[in-house]
Chain A
Amino acid sequence: MTDLYRKEIEIKKEQFQYLVSDLNSPLNRTGSSFKIWIGFLLLLIAMAGFMYVRQLQQGLGTTDMRDIASWGLYIADFVFLIAVSLVGSLITAILKLSNVKWATPLTRISEIIAVAALIAALLIIVVDMGRPDRLWHIFVHGRLQSPIVWDILVVNTYLVISILLLYIPLIPDLALLRKTMGHKPKWQQKMYKILSLGWQGTEEQFRIMNLSLTALMVIIIPVALSIHTVTSWLFASTLRPGWDSTIFGPYFVAGAFMVGAATVIVTMYVIMTNYNFKAYITDEHFDLMGKLLVLTSLVYLYFNLNEFMVPAYKMKSGESAHILGLLVGEYSVLFWSVQILGMILPILLLIIKPFRKPKPLMIISVVVVIGAFLKRFLIVTPTLLHPFLPVQNYPESYHHYNPTFSEIMITVGSFAGIMLIISLFIKLFPIIPVYETAHEKGFPNEIINNS
């Protein structure tokens, strides 16, 4: 009897060790393709950096932003990145609190996407500034009445919470890394040691950890909703055609959940195929994420209907130039491509089961992500080109906005930065939570602690 029991424990231990080495395998495999990938990203970032230095020297004239269209690609990028970052709260907090178990392998993916996107968003805002050396003015002279100040407060708060939500579930995994990564460079071992906080897996430690996680998950939901709501208020609180809308908050949040879900699908596909994680990120996961994407897209579709149908029905004289520009005018091709290819078609396809298989789902998600980016552009720029007060005596070119090479490169650089952060993270930490996976597979804590 005791022999049998001991044997069972031995087998479980072995199984657990196998699980750990499997999930930690990306840390031990650094092929040349990875190095090329990192080099490629660094090259893009360097080009963006070069363009930014040029912009600093010559001023915002290197962009195509002028008096009328004073916001362009950078702000569209900012809104897009903020939207993407919302997925962290969707997957880790909302699904978790509603006791959805299947999302566990995706929590860390979505959290690191959130953190990386937020860092890029904060940087791109500085890039958009003509005088970044005056950034500190907002802290010294900022007025609490201004939505910009709220945005700065809430984005930074969300970043802190996201980092904590990424870090705390990582602590048990870090303790495991400390034990298994003896062959890694000194600094890396030291990092694991410091970050694992002397984790022993005692009941008290688990209790405090779970308490902290619950507190964070509860608080992150209102904060996440407000970061995108406040970002939408940056637009909605100004009197402009197309922005002067009461549903901008929920409209943005709904769009954010949609693009966030799509981003996670693309990322998990890349991770699944690259590191052969088929056993952890299964077809079932893709199927469920596909359904989530349909759900969020349907909500977004509903808000789009409200956002464009109602003003188009009324055709108020001040707004009509803007709405006609989108529906049938200068921006109509982009507008309808985004609405149809980036929202309606994905919904129609994804309600059919075969399209929720990993590969088709991934391709559809890429289209959704691209569409979502262009949608942000459509929200920002056409409005600026149609102010309520007529514009006179401007050069013809001021009436259009076509991002310059410099702007495009810097925006591409921001995406490269995000991918760099995620790629390096995967090489340093297990991207699929080891402890939580083991826990859900029924390994008792003693085995996890003592292996």
Chain B
Amino acid sequence: MAKLNTIVAILIFAFSLGAYSQTTTWEVSADQAAKKNPLEILPKNLALGRNIFKRTCVACHGEKADGKGLIQSTSLIDEKFQKQTDGVVFYKISTGRDKMPPFGAMLKEDEIWSVINYLRVLADPSAIPPPKNVKLELTTGEEIKSITATVLSADSAKLPLSEVDVHFYVKREFGLMRIGEMSNYTGADGKVKVFFPEKIVGDSEGNVTLVVKIENNFLYNDNETTNVKKWGMPLLSHEGEFSRRALWGARDKSPVWLLLLANGIIAIVWAVIVYVIYNLFRIKKAGRIFFK
């Protein structure tokens, strides 16, 4: 028994040693580690970094980058990780190891750097100033249908704010449909304009709801403005089409010929079956008569 215990103990020790060495040695050469991050920590870069992180890394590293995604990976916000230089992290993301995929082939260098910036900010939110409130206005151009968003500071000075990412949407039945680009940055006058696409279907009168949003921004709090315009194509009602009997109709709208045919066949076949089952009783009865 004691022997067995020693063997087990040795085995456990051996395994944990193996696991330990696995988690520690990730060799990064000195010149790789010394590589400098060319990107500054700017809202624009951070937004890109966050988008990439949300799209590609969250599954394994978790929403908070704490290593608790669908699989157990490593925390990217704890102190041990954050102590590493940008160069080391860059190398690890590019080359990968085990379940960590090598992203060097999938992401551009700038994209990896911006993810690193985002990880830095995620671990230490004080790296960026607290977000500010803004005033968001929506104006529309009528000749060529266009939407202009104007971003102004929320204070009484109402200064135009440049380089703010604004998102444009049209409201649909089950959510928002994006129009314009993924990111639309305001110019020096605080304005950014997108064009309204053709052939968008609105309600029965052609009304569409335009939505302009500032969201997930590092410098400014979320903000949203809406406007209703009669820009869409009116929604045609197909009521008549659906209320008549047809193959695509609902349960109580099956075509008459189908009802007659199907039920006719069912009736004939089952009449025979019922007749045969009735005959079984007749057979039984005929046997009884014989006894008497």
Interface residues of A, Cβ cutoff 8 Å to B: 141-145, 150, 153, 157, 160-161, 164, 168, 171, 197-200, 202, 204-205, 208-209, 211-212, 215-216, 219, 223
Instruction: Tell me the nearest residue of chain B to A204, going by C-beta.
Output: B286
B282 on interface, CB distance cutoff 8 Å: yes
Residues of chain B at interface, number, CB under 8 A? 29
Q: Are B276 and A197 in contact (CB under 8 A)?
A: no
Across chains A and B, the number of contacting residue pairs, with CB separation under 8 Å, is 73
15 pairs, A vs B, C-beta closer than 8 Å: A142-B251, A145-B254, A145-B255, A161-B273, A168-B276, A198-B287, A198-B288, A199-B283, A200-B290, A208-B282, A208-B286, A209-B279, A212-B276, A219-B269, A223-B269
Q: How far is the CA of A199 from the CA of B291 in the complex (A)?
A: 11
**Does residue B81 face the partner (Cβ distance < 8 Å to A)?**
no
Query: A202 — which chain B residues lie within 8 A by C-beta?
Result: 286-287, 289-290
B228 is an interface residue with CB less than 8 A from chain A: no
Are A215's CB and B276's CB within 8 A? yes
For the A-B complex with A141-B251, A144-B262 known, give 7 more contacts whose Cβ atoms are closer than 8 Å: A144-B251, A145-B258, A164-B273, A197-B280, A202-B287, A202-B290, A209-B279
- Which B residues touch A211, using CB under 8 A? 279
A144 and B288 within 8 A (CB): no
| Distance from B60 Cβ to chain A, minimum over Cβ atoms (Å) | 15
B21-29, B69-77, B205-213, B242-250: which one contacts chain A? B242-250
CB–CB B283/A219 < 8 A: no
Point out the residues of chain A lying under 8 angstroms from B270, CB to CB: 157
CB closest chain-B residue, reference A216: B276
Instruction: Give chain B interface residues in 148-176, CB to chain A under 8 Å.
Output: none
CB pair B276 A164 closer than 8 Å:
yes
Nearest Cβ in chain A — how far from B289, in angstroms?
A: 8
| Complex contacts, A198 vs chain B, CB 8 Å | 284, 287-288
Partner of A205 from the list B255, B275, B287 (CB cut-off 8 Å) is B287
In the complex, what residue of chain B is closest to A153 when comparing beta carbons? Answer: B266
- Are B249 and A145 closer than 8 Å at their CB atoms? yes
Q: Which residues of A contact B266 (CB under 8 A)?
A: 153, 157
Let me know if B279 and A208 touch, CB within 8 A.
yes
B 255-270 contacts with A by CB, 8 A = 255, 258-259, 262, 266, 269-270
Nearest CB in chain B to that of A215: its residue: B272
- Across the interface, do B283 and A143 meet the contact criterion of CB distance under 8 Å? no
- The verdict on A197 contacting B284 (CB below 8 Å), with A145-B254, A216-B272 known, is yes
Task: Determine the chain B residues whose CB is within 8 A of the CB of A208 once the complex forms.
Answer: 279, 282-283, 286
In the bound complex, what is the Cα–Cα distance between A153 and B269 (angstroms)? 11
* Nearest B-chain residue to A144, judged by Cβ: B254
Residue in B closest to A141 when the chains form the complex, CB atoms: B251
- CB-based contact A205/B286 at 8 Å: yes
Shortest distance from the beta carbon of B278 to any chain A beta carbon, whole Å: 9
B276, B279, B287, B289: residue with the most chain A Cβ atoms closer than 10 Å: B276
Determine which of B255, B277, B284 lies in contact with A164 in the assembled complex, contact meaning CB atoms within 8 Å.
B277
A164 to B288: give the CA distance in the assembly, Å. 22
B206: shortest Cβ distance to chain A, in Å?
Answer: 30
Which A residue's beta carbon lies closest to that of B282?
Answer: A208
Task: A370 to B251: give the CA distance in the assembly, Å.
Answer: 40
Known A-B contacts A144-B259, A157-B269, A219-B269; the reply to A209 vs B283 at CB < 8 A is: yes
Given contacts A144-B258, A145-B254, contact A171 B283 (CB under 8 A): yes
The 4 closest A-B pairs by CB, nearest first: A198-B287, A204-B286, A212-B279, A197-B284
Provide the residues of chain B in CB contact with A171, threshold 8 Å.
Answer: 283
Does A143 lie within 8 Å of B250, measured CB to CB? yes
- CA A197 – CA B277 in complex, angstroms? 12
Contact A215–B251 (Cβ < 8 Å)? no
A141 to B258, CA, bound (A): 17
Given A143-B254, A164-B277, A215-B275, A197 and B287 touching (CB < 8 A)? yes
**Interface of chain B residues 22 through 66 with chain A (CB within 8 A):** none
A208 CA to B290 CA, complexed, in Å: 15
CB distance from B38 to the nearest CB of A (A): 32
